[in-house]
Amino acid sequence: MVGWKAPSNIALVKYWGKKTGQIPQNPSLSLTLSDAYTETTIAYEAKSTSDNALQIEFYFEGKKNPKFEEKIKTYFSILIQELPFISNYKFHIQSINSFPHSSGIASSASSMASIALCLMSIYEDVEKLKLNDIEFFQRASYLARLGSGSASRSVFGGFSLWGKTALLAESSDEFAIPYNQNIHKVFTQLRLAVLLVSAKEKEVSSSQGHALMHQHPFAQARFEQANNNLEKLMAILSSGNINAFFELIENEALSLHAMMMTSHPSFVLLKPNSLKIIELIRLNRREKSLEIGFTIDAGANIHLLYFEDQKKAVHEFIRNELLPFCEDKLWIDDKLGHGPTRIENI
Ligand code: PMV
């Protein structure tokens, strides 16, 4: 049996639009969270027959989950090409999330990353080999990408970069790489609060959203913008310019939603309360000199970014001004994390 705990991540420069084989149309850069994670354990055993059918059981939070099991079967069938041992083994998978399932936090990144990491550990065991850390995590990122693009970025701590860019020779469309050099110390103190505007499942899946970028009238301009924003963000992360940081990540978040609103068919994931929160964040930044800004995933929740040294003031601001706009006054507090860890003694 093997086990891995993998964190969720949130993109600052967004991935929206892909080519066949889960290849991104533009590079993305994310920050890895700390307390929002998935823990997965996989028990595996050689099959007693030469039957090639996949034998996978999937339990989510202690209960057999047929819907997820189907998704995992599809994922494993894609991976057979990469990891042929999958056909010769049966798997019993148990997964739990540290955050509530209906919290509106996307769990595909952390869950796919934890499964990919488990598969890499199983691979080392059945093939009787030991990869070095760079090979191990690079391959895990590659496998995670085949499950969910953003999951490729969840196998590293700090900041991660996924997608080929001329700015960094080691970057690749096939896997993410850690991006932790040249980071000003101010950005190592980043914290993130998820303001739960809506805990409902998204009406439009991210695969549908990516697909709508194929015919999108602004697609080329968007991919160019993301490349330019990546270059700017790299410079900002090394210089420590906080104002420029917030301006850039907000531009990325709103551009992502602008793509959704202007696609055919169009869809709007932001709710009136999302806009209210955005307004209050900007107002308090301007008038109370709080160092705060936001990013948004493919949903209605607002992810407020701030820094460790203003934690007290920001929590007060959240409690007094933002919680009235959150569903059941729910929010989740998190921070920049160190990346996945192997679960020992299971
Ligand atoms: O990994 P996917 O296919 O669920 O796409 C994720 C897309 C965004 O979360 C909106 C942006 C990103 O870069 O994570």
pLDDT digits 0-9 by tens, 9-26: 999 999 999 999 999 999
Q: Could you tell me whether strands 55-60 and 89-97 are parallel, antiparallel, or unpaired per DSSP bridges?
A: parallel
CB 135 within 8 A of CB 177: no
Given a contact cutoff of 8 angstroms between Cβ atoms, the answer to whether 190 and 31 are in contact is: yes
Residue 104 confidence (pLDDT): 64
**CA of 90 relative to ligand 1 center, distance in Å:** 30
297 lines ligand 1 (CB under 6 A): yes
Quick one: pLDDT band at residue 289, thresholds 50, 70, 90? Answer: confident
Q: Please state the atom number of ligand 1 nearest to the C-alpha of residue 14.
A: 13
Is 80 exceeded by the pLDDT of residue 203? no
Residue 204 is predicted with a pLDDT of: 83
> Average pLDDT over the chain, rounded to whole?
96
Kindly state if the Cβ of 149 falls inside 6 Å of ligand 1: yes
The Å distance, Cα 158 to ligand 1 centre, comes to 18
The token pair that represents 49 in the structure block: 């027959």
3 state SS of 8: strand
State pLDDT tens for residues 144-153: 999 999 999 9
Which residue in the block uniquely carries the two structure tokens 């009136």? 272
Confidence of residue 342 (pLDDT cuts 50, 70, 90): very high
Residue 275's pLDDT band (cuts 50, 70, 90): very high
Reported for 269-275, long-range contacts at CB under 8 A and 24+ positions apart, including other chains, are 269/202, 269/203, 269/204, 269/298, 269/299, 269/300, 270/296, 270/300, 271/197, 271/198, 271/300, 273/197, 273/198, 273/300, 273/325, 273/326, 274/197, 274/300, 274/301, 274/302
pLDDT for the residue 201: 73
Under 8 Å between Cβ of 164 and 171? yes
**Rounded Cα gap, residues 295 and 329, in angstroms:** 19
Give the integer Cα–Cα distance in Å for 340 and 117.
9
CA-proximal residue: ligand 1, atom 10 (nearest): 298
Atom of ligand 1 nearest to the CA of 298: 10
Phi, psi of 261 (to 5 degrees): -70, -25
Report residue 66: phi and psi, to 5°. -60, -35
Q: Which residue, judged by its Cα, is nearest atom 6 of ligand 1?
A: 150
Q: What distances in angstroms separate CA 291 from CA 78, 189, 294, one per listed residue?
A: 44, 12, 11
Counting ligand 1 atoms within 8 A of each CB, the residue from 9, 150, 267 with the most, and so the one to mutate, is 150
Task: Give the pLDDT of residue 225.
Answer: 98
- Asked if 307 and 186 count as a contact pair (C-beta separation under 8 A), the reply is yes
> What is the per-residue pLDDT for 251?
98
Q: Does 331 sit in the ligand 1 pocket, CB within 6 Å?
A: no
Q: Is the CB of 253 under 6 A from ligand 1?
A: no
Sign of CA dihedral 11, 17, 22, 23: negative
Pairwise CA distance, residues 29 & 185, whole Å:
18
* Fold annotation for 185-335: Alpha-Beta Plaits (3.30.70)
pLDDT at 103 over 70: no
In this prediction, residues 54-76 reach a mean pLDDT of 96
**CB 209 near ligand 1, within 6 Å:** no
Cβ(153)–Cβ(176) under 8 Å? Answer: yes
Ligand 1 nearest-atom number relative to CA 150: 1
The Cα–Cα gap between 91 and 110 comes to 19
Cβ pair 47, 345 in contact under 8 A: no
Pocket test for ligand 1, best of 16, 110, 302 (most atoms within 8 A of CB): 16
CB 311 within 8 A of CB 130: no
Residue 253: the pLDDT is: 98
Residue 211 amino acid letter: A
- Rg (C-alpha) for the chain, rounded Å, is 20
Q: Where are the domains of the chain?
A: 2-180, 185-335
Average pLDDT in the 112-126 region? 98
150 lines ligand 1 (CB under 6 A): yes
Q: Does domain 2-180 have CATH number 3.30.230.10?
A: yes
